Amino acid sequence: MIPYPNLDPVIFNIWKIQIRWYGMMYLLGFIIAFFVMRYLAVKKNVKLAGEDLWDFIFYAMLGVIVGGRIGYCLFYAPGFYLLNPLKILALWEGGMSFHGGFIGVFIGTLYYCWKKKVLFYDVADIVVAAAPLGIGLGRIGNFINGELYGRITDVAWCTVFPEGGPVCRHPSQLYESLTEGFLLFIILFFMNVRGVRRGIPFWSFFLFYGLFRFINEFFREPDAQLGFIFGPFTMGQILSAPMVLAGGIMIGYLLMKKDDPKPRRKGAKR
């Protein structure tokens, strides 16, 4: 059994403001993502460095926060927030959806590309390579908070979570951190470094994140207010299945195209 760390979710207080592990993980994820995107932008000769990168980070952070919150309210507790609309603004009470946050970042990326007049895939391929780092760190924050824990099990590495009762459960947050986070980062980072066809990393994010999330949901306790949605499947799986389908279809489409060469690396002849 893995002993639960029993860390205080609050790292420290500044006057009446609480600095929490979960928020710190998000911040650390954005900082690391900044350097990953800058490195890949320079390597691939994409207009996403210096002030341009700071502009994009602003749009991405806004997309994560607004999209993640709206997505949670719509997907996971629509009835409650319909009756309590002001609670939508209560971010400090928790409740963020990855799928909503991803839609928010997608919209922010579209706006950035339109504003800067750059190709969408040139930017999106880089962004999805850095995003899994934030996902992985965020799941570690979930583990520290003792939230979004797994289903009851007797495997040797199970954990007893304070909010999950006296039973031993899958540390599903760590499964998600390793697969949806760090493994996915390795896959997409090397796709960018190897210079695969434009758009392949972007749609590979759809395919692999959706696949990893769908599998991990079998170990994660369903949301209490929703339970199982369709037979043995959860809301997370229902939202992830279309990602797998769309990713597979678009990767096949891009691989069959013959009129879109690999992205040009910095210094390559035109």
Would 30 be classed as within a structural domain? yes
CA 169 to chain centre: 23
pLDDT at 262: 56
Separation between Cα atoms, residue 223 and residue 232, nearest integer Å: 13
pLDDT at 269: 38
Classify residue 155 as exposed, middle or buried by CB count within 10 Å of its CB (0-12, 13-18, 19+).
middle
Q: For residue 147, what are the contacts with CB-CB under 8 A and spacing of at least 6?
A: 94, 163
pLDDT at 101: 87
Q: For 168, phi and psi rounded to 5 degrees? A: -90, 140
Residue 117 DSSP label: T
Would 264 be classed as within a structural domain? no
pLDDT at 97: 83
Would 13 be classed as within a structural domain? no
Would 79 be classed as within a structural domain? yes
Q: For residue 44, what are the contacts with CB-CB under 8 A and spacing of at least 6?
A: 122, 125, 126, 192, 195, 263, 264, 265, 266
Q: Which domain holds residue 202?
A: 18-256
Q: Looking at the DSSP assignment, which residues form a beta bridge with residue 220?
A: 150
pLDDT at 127: 93
| Half-sphere exposure in the Cβ direction for 77 (13 Å, CA) | 19
How does pLDDT run along the chain (270 residues), one tens digit per residue? 888 877 777 777 777 777 777 778 878 888 898 899 999 998 998 888 778 888 888 888 888 888 888 888 888 888 888 888 888 877 766 677 888 888 999 999 999 999 989 999 999 999 999 999 989 998 998 898 888 899 999 999 999 998 899 999 999 999 999 999 999 999 999 999 998 899 999 999 999 999 999 999 999 999 877 888 888 899 999 999 999 999 999 999 999 887 655 555 554 433
Number of domains in the chain: 1
User: Which tokens go with 44?
Assistant: 């691939």
Would 61 be classed as within a structural domain? yes
Q: Say whether 152 sits in a helix, a strand or coil.
A: strand
Would 162 be classed as within a structural domain? yes
Q: Cβ(63)–Cβ(106) under 8 Å?
A: yes
Cα dist from 54 to 61, 134, 163, 263, whole Å:
11, 17, 39, 23
pLDDT at 270: 36
Would 224 be classed as within a structural domain? yes
User: Which tokens go with 160?
Assistant: 């007893």
Would 184 be classed as within a structural domain? yes
DSSP H helical ranges for 76-223:
78-83, 98-116, 120-145, 172-176, 184-194, 200-216
